[in-house]
Homo-oligomer: A and B are copies of this chain.
């Protein structure tokens, strides 16, 4: 693999992705953990090739981490404070991994490239968690889904970026009808409600919620879902359009 500094990237500009998923009534974020000693977690990120648009770059980064092509994604903010540099984090990483890094020492050019000030475009993505096969990059020890309220402390301002993504998600959820991107192909109304409750961290009244969602006229009612439970079987729905 070519090192970043040798590739034809836009300089000092990166993309950070907040990948949202939903499972077991919890809103989750896909966060890789780095292979190095010292417990470093960092958002999936990447750079922009000269020949691709920023949306294409975000799509490429997301496909690399999730294995899926058609992903709902949206830019939500640029993070451009002067303090945004990998330097302090990388120095600590090198300090803690001196022995392991001995042979495959980062060369000077590489170190300078990645420790310069970076301005980052924040993208968030909504995926059906069941369709995702989390992919490790060559510096990831693991890639896991974390409940948004039980995240580890990530590097730099990545926790703040996630919080910012969540705020934007809440603001635009109804307006752009994007919630259904987090659900499987078919789902019950209760599942939609629990998803909303996970996102907004507050309860909704069952009957009013159903009315509100159905009044959007974007759901097709399918057959009933028999679970074997001793109660009325709920309908399944599919998202249209």
Contacts and interface: CB of A to CB of B under 8 A. Distances in A.
A154 to B, nearest CB: 21
Contacts of A78: 54, 75, 78, 121
B50 A119 contact: no
Contacts of A54: 78, 80-81, 119
A11 interface: yes
Question: How many identical subunits does the complex contain?
Answer: 2
A145 to B, nearest CB: 27
A221 interface: no
Contact of A82 (B13, B51, B77, B119): B51
* Residue of A11, A48, A53 with most chain B CB atoms under a 10 A cut-off: A53
Contacts of A56: 82
A82 B52 CA distance: 6
Interface string A57-79: 00000000000000000010110
Interface in A9-68: 10-13, 48, 50-56
A77 B75 contact: yes
A95 to B, nearest CB: 26
A117 interface: yes
A55 B84 CA distance: 13
Contacts of A81: 53-54
Contact of A13 (B12, B51, B53, B55): B12
A48 B121 contact: no
Given A54-B80, A78-B78, 8 more contacts: A10-B12, A10-B13, A10-B119, A48-B80, A54-B78, A55-B80, A75-B78, A80-B121
Per CB-CB distance, the 6 closest pairs between chain A and chain B, nearest first, are A54-B80, A11-B11, A53-B81, A53-B82, A10-B12, A78-B121
